Amino acid sequence: MKYQVFVLCFIFFIEGCSNTQVAFQNVSSVPVKSTTSLSNVLACTKEKIATHNQNTAYLIIVREMVDGTVRERSTSDGPLGDAGVHQLQGALVSLLTTEKAIIVDNQPSMFSKYNRGSIGLNKFGVPKNGAQLAYKESMLNYVNAIRTGKGIRSAESIVILTVSGAFTRIDSANLANDGYGLTFGANGSGGKGDLEFGTSVSKKVISLSINLIRPMLNTVIKSQSFDLEFSNSSKKYNLKGTVGEVDLGLALSNTSIESMHSAQQTLIDASAIWLVESLFSGATTSCLTAEIV
C-alpha cells in the first residue's frame, strides 16, 4: 500500500513538472491588397478600357499556366507556384467588366484537349459546329442582357479565346554577381580604428511565354514572351576600434530579396496587360512601358 501511494505521488510530481502553457496572440499586421511593379499600369489599363466601347465582346478561357522548366508528369517539383491560372483569371477580371469580356471559371469540356468524341474535340482538334454555335449564342445573349441593363449598345458578336501560358525559364544559378569591398584604418594618439564595408548583388531571370488561341479553329493567333530579372542584394558594415585599453566593435548588415513568386506574379500581370491590349488594340498603348509593348 505504501508502495502504491509512493508511485501515485511520483506520477503527480512528474506531471506537475511537465506542465506546458502556450499563449496564443493575434497577428499584429493587417492584410493589404497585393501589388507588383506593374500595379500602376494595371490601374491605367483598367481606366482606359472602362471608356472604350466596341461591338465585339469576348469570352476568355485561361486553359493552363504550366511550369515548363520541369518535364510534364515529372515526379520532381519545381520552385514555381501552381496558382498561375487563378492569378491570371484574377488579373483579367480586375481589368475587364462583364459587358466587355467574360472570364470563364472552368474550361468547358468541348474545348478540353483531353476530351474527344461527342463531348470534346473532333479529329481536327476543334469542337463540333452545333456545340460551338449553341455556346456562343447563349453567352452573347448573357452579355447583351448586361449591356441592356447598363444602357450600352448590344454586341454584334462574341469571340471565344483560350489563353495558354508556360514559364519557360528560371535560372538555377545566378545570371550575374557584382560586389565590392572597402577597408579603411587609422591610428592616433588616443587609439586606432578600422572600418570595413562591402556590398553584393546577384541576379536571376524568369521567363513566361503566353499564347492567345482561337479554339474554334485550333490556331494560335498571337504569342508573346516576357523576361524578368529579380535580384538579391546585401550590404555589410564592420567597425572596430580601440580607445585606450577598451576595444569597441559594431557590425551591421542589410539584405534585400526580390522573391521568385513575386517575380512570377509580375510576369502574369504583364501577360494580362498584353492580352487586354491585344483585344482592344490602341486603347491602352499609353499605359504600357517600352518593355511590355
Residues 13-30: tens digit of each pLDDT: 445 555 567 777 788 888
- Position 185 pLDDT exceeds 90: no
Cell representation of residue 16: 506537475
- Position 292 pLDDT exceeds 50: no
- Position 254 pLDDT exceeds 90: no
Tell me the average pLDDT across 267-276.
94
pLDDT attached to residue 19: 59
Cell representation of residue 173: 544559378
Q: Is 15 exposed, middle or buried (0-12, 13-18, 19+ CB in 10 A)?
A: exposed
CA distances to 46, 82, 202, 212 from 60, rounded to whole Å, are 17, 20, 38, 10
pLDDT attached to residue 290: 40
* Dihedral sign (CA 289, 229, 213, 146): negative
CA distance 210 to 77: 21
In this structure, are residues 91 and 269 in contact, taking their beta carbons and an 8 Å threshold?
yes
H or E stretch covering 32: none
CA distance 140 to 258: 43
pLDDT tens profile 109-162: 888 777 666 667 777 788 888 888 899 999 999 999 999 999 999 999 999 999
For residue 54, which of 285, 287, 276, 286 has the smallest C-alpha distance? 276
pLDDT attached to residue 56: 92
What confidence tier does 293 reach under pLDDT thresholds 50, 70, 90?
very low
pLDDT attached to residue 89: 96
pLDDT attached to residue 289: 53
Tell me the average pLDDT across 202-214.
92
pLDDT tens profile 46-105: 988 888 878 899 999 999 999 888 877 666 677 888 899 999 999 999 999 999 999 999
Tell me the average pLDDT across 244-262.
77
CA distance 13 to 7: 10
- Domains within the chain, CATH numbers bracketed: 38-70+79-171+207-228+259-287 (3.40.50)
Tell me the average pLDDT across 230-259.
76
The answer to whether the predicted template modeling score (pTM) of the entire model surpasses 0.85 is no
Residue with cell 539584405: 255
Helix (H, G, I), strand (E, B) or coil at 149: helix
In this structure, are residues 62 and 289 in contact, taking their beta carbons and an 8 Å threshold?
no
Q: Is 174 exposed, middle or buried (0-12, 13-18, 19+ CB in 10 A)?
A: middle
**49 DSSP β-pair partners:** none
pLDDT tens profile 159-181: 999 999 999 988 877 766 676 66
